[in-house]
Copies of this chain bind each other. A is one copy, B any other.
Amino acid sequence: MTWDLLNIIGTIAFAISGALVAMEEDYDILGVFILGLVTAFGGGIIRNVLIGLPVDTIWEQGLLLKSALVAMGIVFFMPESLIQFSKRSLHFFDAIGLSAFAIQGAIAASSMGHPMSAIIVAAILTGIGGGIIRDILGGRKPVVLREEIYAVWALLGGLIVGLNIVNGTIEYMILFICLVVFRMLSLKFNWKLPHRAL
């Protein structure tokens, strides 16, 4: 139930971030919806392929799909001032999606008996995979691979789940809240990972 709500929030946030990239690139309305859906569902699809879960379970997530479509429809017709204003809160909802998706991706891989490496990759891919496809389809370099600290929180979530440090719904929720807080802190203080340009 709690995950369901977090999933809806995260899916909507990811879909809107995809829709905004498409609008910034002047794609047409269908391109906006396609990019939004790819962002919302792409990471989970790639994760399922990689850890050996069936992919066509996404078609049972009718509620997530409809929420994403409605949200993108609203954004498409919003006044620009409101869009710019909403972008700030979008970061917060996006952090919810990142954290919720990463933890659930890790749990899914863990429950299949995969090794730690698979659990971490599942957490990262579920968290950032959609954003990578979004940027590629928008003709951009993937922002999650080079800007502020983003993927690292998904990695951390996967590590903690994989090491069985947390267990049970309440502890997962605490982990979830921590990841959201750290993501927002890293954004506010513009934390960056080490770079090494050639």
User: Interface residues, chain A, CB within 8 Å of chain B?
Assistant: 20, 22-32, 34-35, 37, 45, 49-52, 54-56, 58-59, 62, 65, 76-77, 80, 83, 114-115, 117-118, 121, 124, 132, 136-142, 144-147, 149, 151-152, 155, 192-198
Residues A23 and B137 in contact in the complex (CB < 8 Å), given A59-B118, A145-B35: no
Cα separation A147 to B114 with both chains bound (whole Å): 39
Contact A115 B59 (CB under 8 A): yes
Interface of A is mostly: helix
Contact A76 B29 (CB under 8 A): no
How many copies of this chain does one complex carry? Answer: 3
Chain B residues positioned under 8 Å from A145 (CB to CB): 22, 27-28, 30-31, 34-35, 137
Question: What is the distance, in angstroms, from A32's C-beta to the closest C-beta of chain B?
Answer: 7
Among A25, A27, A30, chain B packs the most CB atoms within 10 A around the CB of A30
Among A23, A26, A59, A136, chain B packs the most CB atoms within 10 A around the CB of A59
- The 8 Å CB contact of A55, one of B20, B50, B141, B151, is B50
Given contacts A28-B149, A80-B198, 20 further A-B contacts (CB under 8 A): A20-B198, A22-B145, A25-B141, A28-B192, A29-B193, A29-B195, A30-B193, A31-B145, A31-B146, A32-B196, A34-B124, A34-B151, A51-B59, A52-B54, A59-B114, A65-B117, A76-B196, A77-B196, A132-B137, A137-B145
